[in-house]
Amino acid sequence: MNSLQRWGYRFFLIIFTAALVLLLGWAGSTIADQYSTWLQKSYQVSLTAHQRFLVDVGFIMIGVLFAFLLGSWLTQKLWTLWETIEDLSPADKFSVLLGILLGLALSYMILLMPLMLLRGRIPATPIFALAVVITFMIVYFSVHTLLKVRDAISFPFLAQQLAQLLQPADKVEPQGVKRGYFYARDKVLDTNIIIDGRLADIVRTGFIEGRLLIPSFVLRELQIIADSEDELRRARGRRGLVVLEALQNLPNAVIEIVDEFSPDVNSTSDTDLKLIRFAKERRAAIITNDNNLQKVAELQGVPVLSVNELATALKPVVLPGEELTVVIQRAGKELGQGVGYLEDGTMVVVEHGKGYIGHEVRIKVTSVLQSTVGKMIFGEFKGVVRRNVFKPEGGDIFE
């Protein structure tokens, strides 16, 4: 909470507590009058003006005391509720507004007849209190139900118009990104995908839309890695900072650093669980290359965009019978096999290719194996395309 928010919270606390003092003080005065009337009717006693004054002061002081006791607690709850509403997506805000209006309409229709029947038979104060409690419950359940079924109800045009009204002036939509009626889902970045470096190239192409959210705890983890005593970890952390700077400089990317979180997120010490809870609250997707994080997030219903799966999907399709050229770089596990790699990193196992390490050869694809770690191509040696592409370690073993 920054200084401006702290001043706003204090101002809200003062105003809300003052209003609560007036309300409960008035309630105490009303109860005092009814209590004095009850004493006179039940015990046939006549209270003097001094005694009535003491009764009024006593009940008013009780009301004011309750106001001060409840003021801080209710202010904190209302302030948290307000911040939660501020973090909602435009469609969720529209659902909350519609739920409140529907709840008020339903409570009016439900309470109208009973209030008319009970009018004059029961004191107004308990009827008013009961009506307020019932109205609050109906409004709460209306909002809760609409938020649950929001995804099944389409408000495309209204959600778009509401989003334009609620969008801050300094949040300009990136140029060249066309959006339909539905706004792109926010994406949350984890530490691994920032260090990976491929995300900047993907974002540069324009295939990823929406805001890229970077929680402050991810930045702290990245800074710790960059300051590590281990040289390899330090290099990875610094590369992540360079990638992050490149992302911020991309004209078609909207990067937002988030440093305020709900108590549920703050109560978690594990970074991955923090990330999942944060994404779940924001109804955002997680971009990562961490398979374990992906599995845990998907189990909790959080959508995940895996860069590893994207890279696998973008690899060219190779069918048995096609011919390829590849440089044999090392010997394979089986007798006589040679191993090479395509430009995208796909491993190619060449039968009878061990004697051609260092040469670029032509092969005929015999089979393609798709595994969890990637794709492997098996081929049969057909001939040499270029000799002596590089000199293998251990001297010449060319045929």
Q: Give the model confidence (pLDDT) of 219-261 as tens digits.
A: 999 999 999 888 888 998 999 999 988 888 888 888 889 888 8
Question: Is residue 157 assigned to a domain?
Answer: no
Q: When comparing pLDDT for 177 and 227, which is higher?
A: 227
Q: Is residue 162 part of a domain?
A: no
Which residues touch 252 (CB under 8 Å, ≥6 apart)?
Answer: 174, 175, 176, 177, 203, 204, 206
At 119, the pLDDT band (50, 70, 90 cuts) reads low
Same domain, 108 and 65: yes
Residues 6+ apart with CB under 8 A from 293: 190, 192, 272, 275, 276, 286, 304
pLDDT given at position 171: 43
> Which of the pair, 398 or 241, is modelled with greater confidence?
241
Which of the residue ranges 160-174, 326-340, 383-397 would you say has the lowest mean pLDDT?
160-174
Print the domain residue range for 351.
317-386
Q: Are 379 and 350 in contact (CB under 8 A)?
A: yes
Banded pLDDT at 262 (limits 50, 70, 90): confident
Q: What is the overall mean pLDDT for the chain?
A: 78
Instruction: Show the DSSP H helices in the chain as ranges.
Output: 3-43, 49-86, 90-118, 124-148, 156-166, 191-196, 198-205, 216-226, 231-249, 263-266, 271-282, 291-299, 307-314
Residue 393 domain-assigned? no
- Percent of the chain past pLDDT 90, that is, above it, reads 16
Q: Looking at 312, 343, 369, which one is the last position of a domain?
A: 312
**DSSP label at 393?**
T
Q: Which residue reads 């609050």 in tokens?
A: 136
pLDDT at position 189, please? 92
Distance CA 279, CA 271 (A): 12
Do 7 and 147 lie in one domain? The reply is: yes
In sequence order, the 6+-apart residues with CB closer than 8 A to the CB of 354 are 328, 331, 332, 336, 337, 338
Better-predicted residue by pLDDT, 230 or 182: 230
Dist CA 353 CA 337 (whole Å): 5
Confidence at residue 74, expressed as pLDDT on a 0 to 100 scale: 74
| CATH (domain of 347) | 2.40.50.140
Other CB atoms within a 10 A radius of the CB of residue 334 amount to: 9
Please state, in angstroms and rounded to a whole number, the distance separating the CA atoms of residues 287 and 209: 12
Share of the chain above pLDDT 70, in %: 76
Q: What pLDDT is attached to residue 121?
A: 65
Q: Report CA 304 to chain centroid distance, whole Å.
A: 11
158 inside domain: no
Q: Are residues 7 and 60 in the same domain?
A: yes
Shared domain check, 103 and 21? yes
Same domain, 298 and 332: no
Domain end: 312, 327, 360, which one?
312
pLDDT at 125 over 80: no
* Residue 392 in tokens: 């293998």
Q: What is the pLDDT of residue 17?
A: 76
Residues 143 and 244 in one domain: no
Evaluate whether 398 touches 356 at the Cβ level (below 8 Å).
yes
Higher pLDDT residue, 270 or 95? 270
176 pLDDT more than 60: no
Q: Which of 305, 343, 313, 308 is nearest to 326 (CA)?
A: 343
Q: Which domain-ending residue is among 312, 331, 364? A: 312
Provide mean pLDDT across the span 130-145. Answer: 79
Q: Do both 204 and 260 map to the same domain?
A: yes
Residue where the block lists tokens 């061990």 = 354
Q: Does residue 304 share a domain with residue 217? A: yes
- Is 80 exceeded by the pLDDT of residue 186? yes
Question: What's the confidence (pLDDT) of residue 41?
Answer: 74
pLDDT at site 182: 43
The SS3 of residue 338 is strand
Residues 6+ positions from 336 with CB-CB distance below 8 Å:
351, 352, 353, 354, 355
247 lies in a domain? Answer: yes
Give pairs for 298-307: CB < 8 Å, separation 24+: 300/276, 302/276, 303/185, 305/187, 305/208, 307/193, 307/196, 307/198, 307/199, 307/202
Give yes or no: residues 287 and 262 share one domain. yes
Q: How far apart are CA 2 and CA 281, in angstroms?
A: 22
Of 29 and 391, the structure prediction assigns the larger pLDDT to 29
Claim to verify: residue 296 and residue 250 sit in the same structural domain: yes
- Which segment of 72-76, 85-89, 304-308, 349-353 scores lowest on mean pLDDT? 85-89
Residue with tokens 């606390």: 13
The average pLDDT across 140-161 equals: 61
The residue-averaged pLDDT of 78-84 equals 69
User: Looking at per-residue confidence, does 182 or 206 come out higher?
Assistant: 206
Position 170 pLDDT exceeds 50 = no
Whether pLDDT at 173 is above 60: no
Would residue 45 count as lying in a domain?
yes
Give the tens place of pLDDT for each residue, 29-79: 888 777 777 777 777 667 777 777 787 788 888 878 877 777 777 777 766
**CATH number, domain at 260?**
3.40.50.1010
More reliable by pLDDT, 232 or 181: 232
Residue 157 reports pLDDT greater than 50:
no
Q: Is residue 166 part of a domain?
A: no
Count of domains in the chain? 3
Task: Tell me if 167 is assigned to some domain.
Answer: no
Go through 216-250 and write b for each residue having 16 or more CB atoms within 10 A of its CB, e for each that does not: ebbbebbeebbeeeeeeeeebbbbbbebbebbeee
Q: Which residue has the higher pLDDT, 125 or 31?
A: 31
Same domain? 104 vs 135? yes
The span from the CA of 391 to the CA of 358, in Å, is 6
The distance of Cα 159 from the centroid of its chain, to the nearest Å, equals 19
| pTM exceeding 0.85 | no
Same domain, 101 and 177: no
Q: Which of 102-116, 170-184, 262-276, 315-329 has the lowest mean pLDDT?
A: 170-184
